[in-house]
Amino acid sequence: MPAPAPRTILLTGAAGKVGTLMRELLPPYGYELRLLDVSPIADAPDAITADLADRAALREAVRGVDAVVHLAGISGESSFDRILRANIEGTYNLYEAAREEGVRRVVFASSNHAVGFAPLPAADGEGLIPVGGPHRPDTFYGLSKCFGEDLAQLYWDRLGLETVSVRIGSCFPEPTTVRMLSIWLSPADGARLLHAALGAENVGHTVCYGSSANTRLPWDLSTARALGYEPQDDAEVYAEKLIAEQGEQDPANPEHTVLGGHFATRPATWPN
Ligand code: NAI
Ligand code: 15L
């Protein structure tokens, strides 16, 4: 008998940008959401206000859920110490709580910045970024996502705790830069992808890229599609406006030659 589809989900990072979108978009798929964030959520009085450093609170938060969607953490470059606490130790604490409480699956918000130094495909589309290539983090932030993916692999290989690590591109209501035309994940497609990642059978530890079906796709979406994900959106509808404002990507500009874009060339806090 296949395992029943998960129903009760702990959504960490529920106060954030993606969390706020998913609080609206996931319940129509039939999920009951338990919310957690270090920031209080004004319109959700039942949300758990807790830091990922609080292992007792995490253990209570995961108790009885079918799966966790783990969005919480620092979502851009910062000092190594801050990244260490929130993203590295915080994700470890979350997995320990899941292990202790017998949660069978985590969907982990990884990032394109885990492979931010991967070269972009040629203009003719040759050389899509593979899903099985080496980690090439572009920042301490990206490095923490590599850690999260490897932690997920360990917890699968040693303990049988399943994870889908989604290397999200840019999940915002609309793409706001020409770079995002390739890696935009529309909120509706984001919910479709999370639903697929929560419901697919026998995922082990699956790594996939997270984007819409963009005309300028730089990466291999096959492992996301293998989960049952069928993206419906394409950022190209925003191309004319964004290119008129910002111009096309320039292959002579190093920022435009790698997946991570400005993350790879302008880390905000280097050296720490
Ligand atoms: P965000 O910064 O808006 O939200 C992150 C949330 O995590 C915040 O509400 C924050 O309060 C919470 N948080 C931070 N540290 C915490 C801690 N120690 N304990 C508990 N909660 C904590 O980020 P966004 O854009 O919503 O991203 C969500 C996740 O998806 C992040 O993990 C990010 O790295 C990842 N991601 C997002 C992308 C995007 O395009 N929005 C792209 C790639 C990855
Ligand atoms: C990310 O990982 C960030 O969390 C998000 O805020 C965007 O900057 C995104 O990558 C991106 O690369 O556009």
Domains of the chain: 8-264 (3.40.50.720)
Residue 269 pLDDT exceeds 70:
no
* Average pLDDT over the chain, rounded to an integer: 95
Q: Supply the pLDDT for residue 127.
A: 87
Q: Supply the pLDDT for residue 266.
A: 81
Residue 134: how many other CB atoms lie within 10 Å: 9
Given a contact cutoff of 8 angstroms between Cβ atoms, the answer to whether 137 and 167 are in contact is no
Atom 7, ligand 2: which residue's CA is nearest? 170
Q: Give catalytic residues, as residue numbers.
A: 141
Beta bridge partners of 208: 166
Model confidence over 134-166: pLDDT tens digits? 999 999 999 999 999 999 999 999 999 999 999
Q: Supply the pLDDT for residue 189.
A: 99
Q: 13: CA distance to ligand 1 center in Å?
A: 6
Q: Supply the pLDDT for residue 3.
A: 60
Residue 1 pLDDT exceeds 60:
no
C-alpha separations of 16 from 1, 8, 269 in Å:
37, 20, 22
C-alpha separations of 4 from 7, 33, 200, 269 in Å:
9, 17, 10, 45
Q: Which residues line ligand 1 (CB under 6 A)?
A: 13, 15-19, 37-39, 51-52, 71-75, 86, 90, 109, 111, 168, 170-172
Residue type, 210: G
Binning pLDDT at 50, 70 and 90, where does residue 123 land?
confident
For every residue of 27-67, DSSP letters joined together read GGGTPEEEEEESS--TT-TTSEE--TT-HHHHHHHHTT-SE
Model confidence over 33-69: pLDDT tens digits? 999 999 999 999 999 999 999 999 999 999 999 999 9
Q: Is 139 in the pocket of ligand 2 (CB under 6 A)?
A: no
Q: Which residue has the tokens 């190209």?
A: 236
Residue of 17, 176, 211, 212 best suited for mutating to test ligand 1, as the one with most atoms within 8 Å of CB: 17
Model confidence over 68-109: pLDDT tens digits? 999 999 999 999 999 999 999 999 999 999 999 999 999 999
Instruction: Report the C-alpha gap between 55 and 50 in whole angstroms.
Output: 9
Binning pLDDT at 50, 70 and 90, where does residue 271 land?
low
Instruction: Report the C-alpha gap between 57 and 76 in whole angstroms.
Output: 25
Q: 158: CA distance to ligand 2 center in Å?
A: 31
Q: Supply the pLDDT for residue 2.
A: 59
Minimum-distance ligand 2 atom for the alpha carbon of 263: 12
Q: Supply the pLDDT for residue 5.
A: 67
C-alpha separations of 204 from 7, 82, 92, 200 in Å:
19, 30, 18, 10
Ligand sitting nearest the alpha carbon of 255: 2
Ligand sitting nearest the alpha carbon of 76: 2
